Amino acid sequence: MAGGLFLNHELSKLFNQLWDADVNRFRPGREYTISLQGRAGFIPQGSHMARDNAAQPLFLQVDEERLQGTKTFAAFISLLDNYETATGEPEVVTAEEEAENHRFLDAILDTAVMKLTHQYLVGKNWARPSVKDFKAQLYHIWFQLYPREGHRGPDSCGFEHVFVGETRRGQEVLGFHNWVQFYLQEKRGNVDYKGYVARQSKTRPDSEDQVLSLQFGWKGLVKPVGSTFIGVSPEFEFAVYTVAFLQSGEKVSRVLVRVEEYELLLVVYRHGRHIGSAYPVLISSDNEDLY
């Protein structure tokens, strides 16, 4: 139990099935290598200054050939430059960008991860049996634009917030919970990794951990804490966040699950009928006694 929440055994079983089915997941130390370096420092609220406790980038190497050569990753990467990241700036979706959204959904729906997810959701009456209908449902949840925080025009969507990242009034970083975006932005010199954020039950994470909390700079701003999966495929993240979103009508859903050796809290914010935000928080892992 964490924070008054009890382990959800049913979703733990499903997410372990998805984890095992995620053949596109990158393996730590083999297809990517990270360097955690120093522990992130405290940042006062409203401050953009942070001590840099990581002289090197987070990602030391990533198998670029596999990243670009895997259908779902390649389709995912094509979406990352489709958005105005500042909230309040209206989004205009071109025909080409809409086609890229559909190509991405087609790619992930062809994976075992999303087929298992669809099967589970149909069994719960949270999705229709038709793959076409399920794709439309995913499009609405993730790609339908909406106004964030009272802005007049549609300036955001679940995909942009969770996977690309946003900035608000030039003062803070919102979302940005994806490792591929982090790696690519870091490679281009746009992200400055500041250090890891330790969780309550463990003073130092393991470079093999595939869920981490990080501190980093982006677009001249600092995100004090950003939690993310590391190495997993886009379809895996879409699957677990979609299930967590659909299993609760609450504005904020918190689901405690155990996936492999990781005890995770999945946090999903609802924006009406769309995802507002989603991210994992690592509570504990079986190899803690090593560190």
Looking at residue 290, what is its pLDDT?
Answer: 24
Does 223 qualify as catalytic in the annotation? yes
Compute how many other C-beta atoms are within 10 angstroms of the C-beta atom of residue 285: 23
Looking at residue 88, what is its pLDDT?
Answer: 63
CA pair distance 247, 255, nearest whole angstrom = 10
Specify if 272 maps to a domain.
Answer: yes
Mean pLDDT score of the chain: 89
Specify if 126 maps to a domain.
Answer: yes
Specify if 229 maps to a domain.
Answer: yes
Question: What's the whole-model pTM score?
Answer: 0.92
Specify if 3 maps to a domain.
Answer: no
Closest CA to 279 of 223, 227, 233, 244: 227
The predicted-structure confidence for 79-133, as pLDDT tens digits, reads as follows 999 877 777 676 777 899 899 999 999 999 999 999 999 999 999 999 999 999 9
Which candidate in 118, 194, 223, 271 is catalytic? 223
Is residue 139 helix, strand or coil?
A: helix
Q: Are 277 and 146 in contact (CB under 8 A)?
A: no
Which candidate in 118, 177, 202, 271 is catalytic? 177
Phi, psi of 67 (to 5 degrees): -60, -45
Specify if 206 maps to a domain.
Answer: yes
The predicted-structure confidence for 255-280, as pLDDT tens digits, reads as follows 999 998 889 999 999 998 999 999 99
Closest CA to 262 of 24, 28, 53, 23: 28
Specify if 291 maps to a domain.
Answer: no
Q: Give me the number of domains the chain comprises.
A: 1
What is the span of the domain harbouring residue 222?
9-40+50-286
Side-chain half-sphere exposure of 126, counting CA atoms within 13 A: 18
Does 9 qualify as catalytic in the annotation? no
Which candidate in 161, 194, 202, 274 is catalytic? 161
Does 177 qualify as catalytic in the annotation? yes
